[in-house]
């Protein structure tokens, strides 16, 4: 049986929190979307997407699933209840104290980040592509959690499956952007062979951003979405193959209903 989701032991230890980094397996979509595509923004059959998302909600034991219109922004929204799809806010992270509502992030190479302070009952989900991570989405997410009562020194953050450095070749202008921001950012770039372009370590950059916010417990799940076709969707892989579209996997976290 294909693996439906992967989990983080650190978050599993929180008795009031449920989470999952869903894989591409376990759904009903077909073709390039096979099989657990959860992205309403894709060209997949809407009924398939709805059923895939409903199955994820059931898997998590939640009453509802909410997401945001991800645009690589630094916007964070507080979730006080479910919203209609037509009212979906433009943001790349969510925080909440509400129980029974799963916060869902869609990715296909970018880093999904699930965060929880189990004692305070505050959780967050963030979409950290290179642009959002560079510009401050993670700092804003942690600030929003603190505003709701979270304490970074007891908060757990997990970076889910994302594109690994070995698969993330970038152009010189990409590396220059980071180096001009902070010369220390050069450590996130390596060349696998002389003369090759640099490769960027998104997971390490994301982890260090979280640590700089004071979060004590930071880990990365470690799977490479681009290299593992049977387990994950990948934007980069779809581009290399000149496919017309691509699926996205869901990562979600929720507080168990009281």
List, for residues 119-137, the tens digit of each pLDDT value. 999 999 999 999 999 999 9
Looking at the domain assignment, is residue 178 inside a domain?
A: no
Domain count, the chain: 1
Which phi and psi angles does 184 have, rounded to 5°? -70, -15
Looking at the domain assignment, is residue 105 inside a domain?
A: yes
Q: What is the CATH number of the domain that holds 22?
A: 3.60.140.10
**Cβ atoms of residues 58 and 27 within 8 Å:** no
Mean predicted confidence (pLDDT) in 87-97 = 97
Q: Does the pLDDT value for residue 2 go beyond 80?
A: no
Looking at the domain assignment, is residue 182 inside a domain?
A: no
Per-residue pLDDT tens over the stretch 29-45 = 999 999 999 999 999 99
Per-residue pLDDT tens over the stretch 48-70 = 999 999 999 999 999 999 999 99
**Three-state SS sequence of 86-141:** HHCCECCEEEECCECEEEEEEECCCEEEEEEECCCCEEEEEEECHHHHHHCHHHHH
Looking at the domain assignment, is residue 99 inside a domain?
A: yes
Looking at the domain assignment, is residue 184 inside a domain?
A: no
258 confidence band (pLDDT: 50, 70, 90): confident
Rounded-to-integer distance, Cα 218 and Cα 27, Å: 30
Looking at the domain assignment, is residue 214 inside a domain?
A: yes
pLDDT computed for residue 1 by the predictor: 52
Looking at the domain assignment, is residue 169 inside a domain?
A: no
Looking at the domain assignment, is residue 12 inside a domain?
A: yes
Q: Does the pLDDT value for residue 85 go beyond 90?
A: no
Per-residue pLDDT tens over the stretch 160-214 = 999 999 999 999 999 999 999 999 999 999 998 877 899 999 999 999 999 999 9
Q: Does the pLDDT value for residue 229 go beyond 70?
A: yes
Name the token pair of 142: 């942690």
pLDDT computed for residue 140 by the predictor: 98
Buried-exposed string 72-84: b where 16+ CB fall within 10 A, e elsewhere? bbbbbbebeeeee
Q: Does the pLDDT value for residue 78 go beyond 70?
A: yes
- Domain range for 84 is 6-164+201-255
DSSP type of residue 63: S
């Amino acid at each position: 049986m294909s693996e439906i989701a992967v989990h983080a032991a650190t978050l599993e230890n929180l008795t009031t929190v449920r989470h999952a980094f869903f894989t591409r397996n376990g759904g009903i979509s077909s073709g390039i979307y096979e099989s657990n595509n959860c992205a309403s923004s894709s060209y997949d059959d809407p009924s398939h997407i709805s059923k895939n998302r409903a199955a994820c909600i059931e898997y998590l034991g939640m009453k509802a699933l909410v997401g945001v219109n991800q645009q690589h922004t630094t916007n964070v929204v507080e979730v006080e209840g479910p919203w209609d799809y037509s009212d979906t806010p433009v943001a790349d992270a969510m925080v909440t104290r509400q129980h029974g509502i799963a916060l869902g992030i869609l990715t296909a190479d970018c880093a999904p980040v699930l965060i929880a302070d189990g004692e305070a009952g505050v959780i967050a989900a963030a979409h950290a592509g290179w642009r959002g991570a560079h510009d401050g989405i993670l700092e804003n997410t942690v600030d929003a959690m603190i505003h709701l009562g979270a304490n970074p020194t007891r908060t757990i953050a997990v970076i889910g499956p994302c594109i690994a450095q070995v698969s993330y070749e970038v152009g010189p202008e990409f590396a220059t952007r980071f180096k001009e921001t902070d010369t220390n950012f050069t450590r996130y770039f390596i060349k696998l062979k002389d003369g090759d372009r640099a490769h960027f370590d998104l997971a390490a950059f994301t982890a260090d951003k979280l640590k700089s916010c004071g979060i004590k417990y930071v880990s990365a799940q470690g799977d490479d979405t681009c290299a593992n076709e049977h387990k994950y969707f990948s934007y980069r892989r779809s581009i290399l193959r000149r496919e017309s579209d691509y699926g996205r996997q869901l990562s979600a976290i929720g507080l168990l209903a009281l």
